[in-house]
Structure 1
Amino acid sequence: MTRGRQAPSRQERALRRREEIIAVACELFARGGFRGTSLADVAAAAGITQPGLLHHFGSKAGLLLAVIERRDHDSEAFAMELLGMAPEGRLRAMPEFARRNRQRAGLAKLFTVLVAESLEPDSPGHEHFVDRYRAMRAIVADSIRSAQAAGVTRLDIDPVAKAAEIIATLDGLQTQWLLDPDTIDIVAGVESYARTLEHDLTCGVAPQGPPESVL
């Protein structure tokens, strides 16, 4: 006799319900922003009472941090992929991140909205995004330093300043695409910038074998 599938435990059901609420909140925050979306809005859309929602997250700020964590999980996975690549492959991989964002426009919009709403120091997500951008700049700057040490990137480039420029350009392209997707091709834009960036980083550097990307 075949045993039936074991019913999920209470903890598993609670975790599943929590993930469902986060998914609903992601959609609502992307559409109306954190400030423009009430706990009552999220509770109603998720089919749960407001006290039930607070049981899972404690507060609206707790829900926001859970949403940010969900959104960051995807980006961090791709960042780990990049770090696992040889330096010459990282620059060529930049358009792939744009392709992923194009396929998941809702998450890209959510990120842009939450960053804009977290500019003020008293915003619940402010510290998270400050730390996130610092970490991103450090990763890119370290990659540039490694390429400089290997002799494939110009030594007169300030890694910290260039890292801030790269991140700002990618964020700016994403914002313009979200505002006007019929006019702005995010993938083509990132591909073009990657070629320009490679030329900028290697201009005047003596070739050391076959041409390589350097970030």
Structure 2
Amino acid sequence: MTEQTPEHPRLTKGERTRQRIIDAAFELFSRSGYRAVSLRDIAAHAGLTHAGVLHHFPSKEATLIDVLTRRDQVDAPLVLDPGLDSAELIENLVGIIERNSRIPGLVSLYAKLSAEATDPDHPANFYFTRRYEILRERLTSAFAILLADRPGVSPETAAVQLLALLDGLQVQWLLAPESVDMRASALDYLRLLGVAVEETDDT
């Protein structure tokens, strides 16, 4: 999910309606979680009828998948591009952390849904399971290079620990945003590993 942006003038009426539905679903899922929200709730929040939403999305699950994949369309090149070297991958990840500190709705959504999705029957279970698998693989490969010939934590452990740190930081930041600096804490952990991150403009 991205920050709220003006509707593109070239969108068709149907595309604009789909965008309204997804924006409404994003807001409600962020506020209440997936299970507490109904498709009728989404319709009402979007200013549409239940039948109007069903015309574009056959189920609440379909809106959830669209909400999740919209953000990934932006982040994927920053993490999954095969042309990235290990240092660039880590720098991009730090940039994403900085950007997320400006969009608490997204952080809240992922915190709620990732916890709910530990239930194997949750519609986002596969999404989050696969998402963590991919991130662990990418970070393990990066740390294998960045931590080469250095004693201490293994690349696999460093990848798991970094992801756990980021998830925990998000929860603490949501509870006390003025007291928790997610980016600074992530950089401190990387420095402890011996990984230097070049200071660049925000992602």
Q: TM range, normalised to the smaller chain? A: 0.7 to 0.9
Matched, 1:66 2:62: no
Query: Deviation of residue 77 (structure 1)?
Result: 3.7
**2:57 corresponds to:** 57
Letter in 1 for 2:172: Q
* Residue-pair matches, total: 190
Matched, 1:116 2:115: yes
Per the alignment, do residues 94 and 153 of structure 1 end up closer, same or farther by CA in structure 2, a change over 3 Å counting?
Answer: farther
Per-residue CA deviation, residues 63-117 of structure 1 (Å, 9 max, x unaligned), is 1111111232333243247x64443444445432221001111111111111111
**1:180 corresponds to:** 176
Query: Deviation of residue 37 (structure 1)?
Result: 1.3
Query: Deviation of residue 155 (structure 1)?
Result: 6.3
Moved more, 71-80 or 134-143: 71-80
| Counterpart-to-counterpart distance in 1, 2:67 and 2:105 | 13
| Counterpart-to-counterpart distance in 2, 1:144 and 1:108 | 25
Aligned with residue 163 of structure 1, among 159, 165, 188: 159
Matched, 1:14 2:14: yes
| Counterpart-to-counterpart distance in 2, 1:126 and 1:91 | 26
Give TM-score, length-normalised by structure 1: 0.78
C-alpha contact (below 8 Å) 2:24/2:42 kept by paired residues: yes
C-alpha contact (below 8 Å) 1:144/1:153 kept by paired residues: no
Moved more, 100-109 or 70-79: 70-79
| Counterpart-to-counterpart distance in 2, 1:85 and 1:135 | 15
C-alpha contact (below 8 Å) 1:91/1:194 kept by paired residues: no
C-alpha contact (below 8 Å) 2:89/2:142 kept by paired residues: no
**1:47 corresponds to:** 47
Give TM-score, length-normalised by structure 2: 0.82
Per the alignment, do residues 140 and 173 of structure 1 end up closer, same or farther by CA in structure 2, a change over 3 Å counting?
Answer: same
**In terms of Rg, which structure is larger?**
1
Query: Deviation of residue 8 (structure 1)?
Result: 5.8
| Counterpart-to-counterpart distance in 1, 2:190 and 2:92 | 9
Q: How does 1:132-211 map to 2 (within 5 A)?
A: 132-147=131-146, 152-154=148-150, 157-198=153-194
| Counterpart-to-counterpart distance in 2, 1:56 and 1:167 | 35
| Counterpart-to-counterpart distance in 2, 1:177 and 1:8 | 37
| Counterpart-to-counterpart distance in 1, 2:105 and 2:30 | 7
Per the alignment, do residues 93 and 193 of structure 1 end up closer, same or farther by CA in structure 2, a change over 3 Å counting?
Answer: farther
| Counterpart-to-counterpart distance in 2, 1:213 and 1:41 | 44
CA-based RMSD of the aligned residues comes to 2.5
Per-residue CA deviation, residues 143-189 of structure 1 (Å, 9 max, x unaligned), is 122345xxx44266432222111111111111111121122122222
Matched, 1:127 2:126: yes
**1:87 corresponds to:** 86
Letter in 2 for 1:193: Y
Letter in 2 for 1:168: A
| Counterpart-to-counterpart distance in 2, 1:145 and 1:191 | 18
C-alpha contact (below 8 Å) 1:198/1:213 kept by paired residues: no
Letter in 1 for 2:161: E
Letter in 1 for 2:53: L
| Counterpart-to-counterpart distance in 1, 2:127 and 2:88 | 29
